[in-house]
Structure 1
Amino acid sequence: MNLRTLCVLPLLALALPACSTHPSRAEPAMSRPDFLVSDVRVTEHRDQDDLLSAGLGLGGLAGAPSPFADPLHPTPAELRRRAIQTNWKGIADLGPLGGYGTVYGAVPSVPGREFQAFARVPGASQPHRVLLQVPDAFDAQHRCLVVAPSSGSRGVYGAISLAGAWGLPKGCAVAYTDKGTGAGYFDYADDSGVQLDGTRARRGEAMLEFEPPPATADAGVAIKQMHSGDNPEADWGRDVIQAAQFGLAMLDRAFPAQAPFTAQNTKIIATGLSNGGGAVLQAAGLDDQGLFAGVVALEPNVLVPGLGRPMIDYATEAAIWLPCALATPRFAAAPFARAPDGSLPPAYAGRCAALHAQGRLAGATTAAQAEAAYQRLRAHGWTDEALATAASTTAFDLWRVIAAGYASSYLRRGATDMPCGFRYLTVDHANQPAPADPATRAAWWADGVGIPPGNGIALGGGMDHGDDPALAGLDCLRQLWTGDSVDARALHASVAATASKLPRADLPLWVLHGAGDGLLPTAFTSEPYVAWLRDNERTPIYWRVPHAQHFDAFLAVPAFGAVHVPLMPYGYVALDRMWAHLFQAAAWPASQPVPAPHPRGPGALDASMLDLR
């Protein structure tokens, strides 16, 4: 076997005699964090398996989904390999024109061990995953621990293309957390969820990643982030801190002769992108013990009290108004803003007409209505660059998906009482309601991105029978932010609990954000956060990178990649410079010149396009 399970380490002992031929040692004092709620699963990854790509290498990561010998019963090793592949492909641009592995980045084979467990923050009803990757070539002279929460709503490997790709080859250990998100979907049809090793089990058979209250078999699918009742986003910073503490404790186990590993003798760098970027900034604001030596946040979903705008606000606004605004001629050339034949998608004109019929939009023609919608969004802080890139988010219906899921999370709802009539249900290949295909269900943990639709799960409800059937559900979601109902007040309270606190004054902190981010626009996120830091005498470095946007993976679409550059190489550079500051005594500058890249164009990415010196 390529994946060799050493043993499941109980919480009360370092090892069982049956798991190892070596004499057992007494546990170092920090090797059993009290927040763990499961045993620790320890696995080795060598030979045709490794930590960074599970043996697939760059070509395999970019290729077809890694197969299962028995699709109905994939092994933990097969699920892990495919989960790593899914998370690489979902975040990094691995396309032939993107330059990964030639212009920037690499996927070397990194043998080592993994330590994984379920943890829980105080007050939470459901656990989150923590996982430490320890390379065999761990650099004992430069003791480094990178801590990385997952991006978006992804599972525990959601930051591997950023933190793993940068840290593991340097000899750093890398600690991950899914921060209470992930694809541990619970299917009420067979009352099953996901175990620690990624395989499925029924309620009562094993500890599950997410076990919601019982419901009838037709209740659909429950998603941990959306249905845990915990408002997990408010605890993302605590999840990151627990991942760091778990990482130190597992390093004690991995290298007992060098223990204890502490923040005083091991440099801890927190990094993440998107929701992971917001999570590390939350953690920075909670770190009153000096745990973190540095923080690098890419395109963070960050909220500052009284500044910027929370995602549920601008997502519900965009969901309603952006389809109409994209009908203006100024967006005719924007990727995804038009149908493949260059025509205006009928739904965009239909949204203009529906808003006009309700008296919410002036103008006698589609063109006039679209201009009015555009001016409304501009008045609310949207830039042309963000709006153009947000055409992709609109084309993929992500605004509705995000708003419905996050509203449910903020209101602490279960699978059967999501707001505005939404629900998650299993569908067949024709997208019709049907029991989950057993092979699809078996692969959910590896294939899912944490928030449906996808992999045989659809977002249902929130529709009426009008000419624009989605508008009623979107208006209902919008009222949860703009209204004053009991639910609206509860949602506001949950959103307020996600706000970041001020980090300590001496913390080296670097924020990077694509100027064209259409999902988490800089005007609502990074810019107010950085301004707030500077107003409070902090000295963050801030790169607002021209021609970069939110989804590097979308750059594999030629027309989209031609007008953008990837953000990932700038994150690697920031981490390199953080390393130089922490380990080579390089001065931490008050600022660094922002690169001036130019779009990739129709050909392959060239290093000169990135303007990285």
Structure 2
Amino acid sequence: MMPIAHSACRPVVVLALALGLAACASAPRPVTPSMIERDASAFRVQRTTSHRDGDDLLTAGLGLAGLRMLAPPAFADAAAPTPVELRRRAIWSNWRGIADLAPGGGYGEVYGSVATVPGREFSALATVPGARQPHRVLVQVPDAFDRTRRCVLVAPSSGSRGVYGAIAVAGAWGLPKGCAVAYTDKGTGSDYVDLDARTGMQADGSIAALGTEALAFAPEVPEGATGVAFKHAHSQDNPEADWGRHVRQAAEFALVALDEAFPAEAPFTFANTRVIAVGISNGGGAVLRAAEQDGDWLDAVVAGEPSVLVDGHDSRALYDYTTEAMLLMPCALLAMDDLPQPPLQAQARGQWTERCRVLREAGLVDGSDADAQARDALARMRASGWTDEALRAGALSVGFDLWRAVAVNYASAYGRFGIDAHPCGYGWSAQNAEGSRRVATAQERAAWWSDASGIPPGAGVGIVDDSVRVDPSLSRLQCLRGLWSGASVEAERVHRGVAETRAGLPRKGLPVTVIHGADDGLIPMAFTSAPYVAKARAAGRDVRFWQVRHAQHFDAFLGLPDYGARYLPMLPYVYRALDRTLDALEQGKSLPGDAVIDTVPRAGKPLTAEHLALP
């Protein structure tokens, strides 16, 4: 088998003007051949920073020991952190939100790298045509970038995380190998707006007043609005509809950054630079959307546990199965044994029993007592496609109230609802102990960019629900579900938004590897990866599928003893797929084939390679 070659001729867009990359540039650069295939006017507020001598690209100088620290890196002035402090803390937060760094979990020892990688970062705000708000793009170029291989990984953030949200996925694999890594927050992220203080986040993560030119998110703020707004929920762009274009723009910005970094070797183009897209969760869905983008600009795709929707093949929309789980799963879990801990079933039983009762009153389940109601809820979920493995792992999402958090955010995003316009009356704010709104402190506000995950609750921001009872506002939960199952004007808006996110087919000949945990309880494989693979293969596309037994969605939760004993991490399989893909592209080796991977749970022991059974 010959190495997969780059196309010698690709569609080009010749620019009339090229913007300077450095933030201090006073005049545009002249047009050069390296400007082919990208629209430089899409990038603004461009910055370049160096990261060496205790402040590297991969861990910001923290190393594995620093990343494992339970407390985040401190700010010298908690109310006014510097951009350097914000970056270090954002990298710490995003590593810990994605990877299992706990001792015995194997990271940095059995798999993965936290090598010291000196280099430069090039960042900008980019806007896809038609969007109201920008997305962040950031390119890490290691000093040891291999200019003879010209390798770029383009990596959208998982979940709704900020621009460093894929550093443990792509940076950890690509930077030590001499590849550049291009990130995008894909229109989500932690650029929160304090509606009380009328402030937002600048390109460097620092706080500035609304109206400042360099803000990464500048929404329309209604008179009298209070609380917190954030980009995923309030951009009114439905960012998920553009995730593929966000990935493409990040790849384009990588070429701009490489020209700036190595002018003697310019131009860097899609014809002479290898581009692999990789992501997990929402990032996995984003790279699959990138795979369908026009043009021969992308060489391969690796998608881990992707949130993806297709027509047919029993695919279900995220909003559909999330709102179903939000309502029924707390009751259904009462009928299941051997649930992972937490949540502690003995402590949760009272709340879950109450959920069964109110579901019965609402006519959503049948049964004369809690046990019968739980069995009915479980039967309904199984009938709609949930496996017992996904239901057990989904107990974590019940315990941490993730289903409601996702539903509240995505209802706003899909419906393109603005600030204070949530159709079910929810809001977001700093909160008092009993859940009432309050004004955020300067210290809380200063840490949002580095600490927040992009979907509250977290980092001092919570979901405001003024009608919470013992069971959090079933009427409002039913409202959220009604945006999928009902026929209101608001429901039609949500359905239109969901329809905009449906994935098409990958480009013919583009190698795609999809990896999913068989026990995934947040983005069940049966609703997402399996239908995508079936649809792509039916159309003759080049897709292979790795199904990992005893693997769920959240590597970061494997530090919880019971989860670490039951489940294996997903990142080693993403790294292995990247290894195999790069070998195929560069050396002509075989691409990875289909695999059902029979792992061996750790059962409380330190992780070894034998547990992983890597293909």
SS of residue matched to 1:331:
coil
Alignment of 1:494-505 (within 5 A): 494-505=497-508
- Find the partner of 2:479 among 473, 476, 480: 476
1:511 CA drift (Å): 0.3
Match of 1:143 in 2: 150
Match of 1:75 in 2: 82
Match of 1:608 in 2: 610
CA deviation profile, 1:308-357 (whole Å, cap 9, x unmatched)? 001000000000000000111x3344323434xx4543110001111112
Match of 2:493 in 1: 490
Give, in whole Å, the separation in 2 of the partners of 1:14 and 1:569.
Answer: 35
Matched, 1:50 2:48: no
* Conservation of the 8 A alpha-carbon contact between 2:21 and 2:256: no
In structure 2, runs of 5+ residues without a counterpart are: 1-16
Q: State the Cα RMSD in Å.
A: 2.0
Cα–Cα, structure 1 residues 573 and 462, in superposed 2: closer, same or farther, change >3 Å?
farther
TM-score by length of 2: 0.93
Match of 2:408 in 1: 404
* Conservation of the 8 A alpha-carbon contact between 1:128 and 1:181: yes
1:432 CA drift (Å): 4.4
Give, in whole Å, the separation in 1 of the partners of 2:312 and 2:331.
Answer: 29
Whichever residue aligns with residue 451 of structure 1, its letter is I
1:191 CA drift (Å): 0.5
CA deviation profile, 1:173-199 (whole Å, cap 9, x unmatched)? 000000000010001111100000000
TM-score by length of 1: 0.94
Q: Taking every aligned residue pair, what percent have the same amino acid on both sides?
A: 52
1:379 CA drift (Å): 0.2
Whichever residue aligns with residue 404 of structure 1, its letter is V
Match of 2:558 in 1: 555
* Conservation of the 8 A alpha-carbon contact between 2:515 and 2:547: yes
* Conservation of the 8 A alpha-carbon contact between 1:118 and 1:196: yes
Matched, 1:364 2:368: yes
* Conservation of the 8 A alpha-carbon contact between 1:295 and 1:508: yes
Alignment of 1:98-497 (within 5 A): 98-216=105-223, 218-286=225-293, 288-307=294-313, 308-328=315-335, 330-339=336-345, 342-428=346-432, 431-461=435-465, 463=467, 465=469, 468-497=471-500
Whichever residue aligns with residue 362 of structure 1, its letter is D
The more displaced of 84-93 and 252-261 is 252-261
* Conservation of the 8 A alpha-carbon contact between 2:19 and 2:29: no
Matched, 1:579 2:582: yes
Whichever residue aligns with residue 40 of structure 1, its letter is Q
Give, in whole Å, the separation in 2 of the partners of 1:263 and 1:19.
Answer: 25
Cα–Cα, structure 1 residues 490 and 583, in superposed 2: closer, same or farther, change >3 Å?
same
SS of residue matched to 1:321:
helix
Give, in whole Å, the separation in 1 of the partners of 2:20 and 2:375.
Answer: 67
Match of 1:509 in 2: 512
Whichever residue aligns with residue 331 of structure 1, its letter is D
Cα–Cα, structure 1 residues 190 and 30, in superposed 2: closer, same or farther, change >3 Å?
farther
SS of residue matched to 2:275:
strand
Give, in whole Å, the separation in 1 of the partners of 2:327 and 2:510.
Answer: 40
1:364 CA drift (Å): 1.5
Alignment of 1:585-596 (within 5 A): 585-588=588-591, 591-596=593-598
Give, in whole Å, the separation in 2 of the partners of 1:69 and 1:231.
Answer: 37
Give, in whole Å, the separation in 2 of the partners of 1:245 and 1:37.
Answer: 10
The more displaced of 511-520 and 487-496 is 487-496
Give aligned pairs, total.
595
* Conservation of the 8 A alpha-carbon contact between 2:339 and 2:395: no
Cα–Cα, structure 1 residues 593 and 213, in superposed 2: closer, same or farther, change >3 Å?
closer
SS of residue matched to 2:44:
coil
Give, in whole Å, the separation in 1 of the partners of 2:418 and 2:166.
Answer: 27
Match of 1:4 in 2: none
SS of residue matched to 2:50:
strand
Give, in whole Å, the separation in 1 of the partners of 2:124 and 2:595.
Answer: 41
* Conservation of the 8 A alpha-carbon contact between 2:34 and 2:266: no
- Find the partner of 1:569 among 551, 567, 572: 572
Match of 1:5 in 2: none
SS of residue matched to 1:421:
coil
Match of 2:4 in 1: none
* Conservation of the 8 A alpha-carbon contact between 2:225 and 2:420: no
SS of residue matched to 1:204:
coil
* Conservation of the 8 A alpha-carbon contact between 2:45 and 2:214: no
CA deviation profile, 1:219-277 (whole Å, cap 9, x unmatched)? 21111110111111100000000000111111111111111111211110000000000
Give, in whole Å, the separation in 2 of the partners of 1:494 and 1:315.
Answer: 16
Cα–Cα, structure 1 residues 12 and 300, in superposed 2: closer, same or farther, change >3 Å?
closer
* Conservation of the 8 A alpha-carbon contact between 1:220 and 1:415: no
Give, in whole Å, the separation in 1 of the partners of 2:433 and 2:378.
Answer: 37
Cα–Cα, structure 1 residues 272 and 14, in superposed 2: closer, same or farther, change >3 Å?
closer
* Conservation of the 8 A alpha-carbon contact between 2:429 and 2:437: yes
The more displaced of 258-267 and 309-318 is 258-267
Give, in whole Å, the separation in 2 of the partners of 1:242 and 1:472.
Answer: 41
Matched, 1:60 2:62: no
The more displaced of 42-51 and 500-509 is 500-509
Cα–Cα, structure 1 residues 76 and 344, in superposed 2: closer, same or farther, change >3 Å?
closer
Give, in whole Å, the separation in 1 of the partners of 2:432 and 2:80.
Answer: 20
Match of 2:5 in 1: none
Give, in whole Å, the separation in 1 of the partners of 2:102 and 2:130.
Answer: 43
Match of 2:3 in 1: none
In structure 1, runs of 5+ residues without a counterpart are: 1-9
* Conservation of the 8 A alpha-carbon contact between 1:462 and 1:472: no
* Conservation of the 8 A alpha-carbon contact between 2:58 and 2:172: yes
